[in-house]
Structure 1
């Protein structure tokens, strides 16, 4: 299963999320979008998911504990306990034997990040 993890600030809009996703490799072949539970209902994410016809996988924050990420953000690490929210959410949501196929990229306005992972879960 291929999943895009998304991290974003409150002010992020659907254009920023789409730009980050496109920079990470795009929506082709994705089975879902993922983010932490607290952000899963954000209007920009819901709009993007609807536009792409993909479900949103909400990952509990405590489910990210101990997930190793390829990139590190000091701000994200201090706030969420992982180096990259997008990478960690993608890896957890992709399931067993998940591996990162596109590391975190940041939208030009710096309000959204995306990463893509593949795992064995259907």
Structure 2
């Protein structure tokens, strides 16, 4: 199962999320999108998921904090306990044995990040 994880500011636009996903490798083959629980209801993410016909997987912040990520943001580490929300959300939502297949990519406006992971879906 292939999942795109997203980290983004509350005021990120649908265009920002699209661009971050495109930079991370695109939507081909995705089974879901994922983010930290407190942002899973964001309009831009819901719009992107609807556009792609994919479910949103919500990942609790404490689960994100347990995942070691390739990229590290001190700001995100302080706020969520994780090095990258996008990477850790993708890994957590992809299931057991998940591995990152695309590290965090950032939209040009720096409002959104996306990463892609693949796992067994469980």
TM-fit CA distance, 1:66 = 1.9
2:82 is matched with which residue? 82
- Cα distance in 2 for partners of 1:13, 1:111 equals 8
Structure 1 residue 63, shift from structure 2 partner: 1.3
After TM superposition, the structure 1 stretch with the greater mean CA deviation from structure 2, 75-84 or 61-70, is 61-70
Instruction: Compute the displacement of 1:121 (Å).
Output: 1.8
Partner of 2:119: 119
2-structure distance, mates of 1:118, 1:74: 25
| Partner residue, 1:56 | 56
User: Which residue of the partner structure matches residue 65 of structure 2?
Assistant: 65
CA-atom RMSD in angstroms: 0.8
Q: CA deviation at 1:65?
A: 2.5
After TM superposition, list the pairs within 5 Å mapping 1:1-122 onto structure 2. Answer: 1-121=1-121
Deviations 1:81-103 (A, max 9, x none): 01000000000000000000000
Which aligned runs of 4 or more in structure 1 are off by greater than 6 angstroms? Answer: none
2 CA distance for matches of 1:66 and 1:6? 17
Consecutive unaligned residues in structure 2, runs of 5 or more: none
Tell me, in whole angstroms, the C-alpha distance in 1 between the residues paired with 2:51 and 2:121: 24
**TM-score by structure 2 length?**
0.98
